[in-house]
Amino acid sequence: MSASNLIRVGGLAAVLAGALLLIADLWSLLLEFILGGPEDFSEFAVTSSWTVLSALYLLGSLLLLVALVGLYARQSEAAGTLGLVGFLAALVGTGLLVGIFWTQAFVVPSAAIEAPAFLNAEETAGPLDMGFMLSGIAVAVGWALFGVATLRARVFPRRAIIVLIIGALLTVLPLPATTLVIDVAVAWLGLSLLSGQVRATAETSSLGAQPRVQ
């Protein structure tokens, strides 16, 4: 696959990833706050709603990996060493996120049948909670660092990047709906890539301190 095709695929993947994750997050918010949510998580985990919801999260996170590659490919020269570090950090964080969503899609429904008390427990013994927490931090730090490098590269629209950085940092807060912001930012960057609203890499390198694209 040529670099231009990879970039286009990455842009499309970013739009789809942002849209799917946004739908899934809004659906989760609807279930939790408007409908009150299920009494026991183990009961919800065997429903068709959980199947569709977990599938949306898994597919969205897989597309997010492709999107990240395309976004980085578009600015790799301008982003420099910091861009590479940010890309690798975001790649690791997103890989961990895929693992979480894979577990939700395939392990959780089986656990709901075999060990419902485990799913319904507010706290679990062992390293599971710590693993989820560290994975969440890795996602937030990775994408925030990628956003900072992207901001310095001046290839993508500045406002979209700022929203991405804010969205990444918000995900570590123990509050509902904090992932909605980063969902929008990823889709925004993808649309910018597909529509050509980005600065050419060669132009960025030569112009240096000229005003950023808005």
**DSSP secondary structure code for residue 32 in this structure:** I
Quote the DSSP letter at residue 154. T
DSSP state, 45? T
Tokens encoding 41: 């998580």
What is the DSSP code string of 150-186? HHHHT-S-HHHHHHHHHHHHHTTSSSTTTTHHHHHHH
Give the pLDDT band of residue 119 (cuts 50, 70, 90): confident
Question: What is the C-alpha to C-alpha distance for residues 109 and 16, in angstroms, rounded to an integer?
Answer: 26
- CA distances 81 to 29, 114, 116, Å, are 38, 48, 47
| Element of type H or E holding 137 | helix 128-153
Phi, then psi, of 6 in degrees rounded to 5: -60, -40
Average pLDDT over residues 160-170: 97
Q: What residue ranges do the domains of the chain occupy?
A: 3-199
Q: What is the pLDDT of residue 205?
A: 37
Mean pLDDT of 89-111: 96
pLDDT for residue 39: 67
Determine contact, residues 70/24, Cβ cutoff 8 Å.
Answer: no
pLDDT(37) > 90: no
CA 137 to chain centre: 12
Euclidean distance between CA atoms 186 and 160, whole angstroms? 8
When computed from its CA atoms, the radius of gyration of the chain, rounded to whole angstroms, is 18
The 10s digit of each residue's pLDDT in 56-76 is: 999 999 999 999 999 999 999
For 103, which DSSP code? I
Query: Mean pLDDT score of the chain, rounded to an integer?
Result: 88
Q: Which of 90, 26, 67, 94 is nearest to 187 (CA)?
A: 67
Q: What is the DSSP letter of 115?
A: -
Residue 40 has a pLDDT of 82
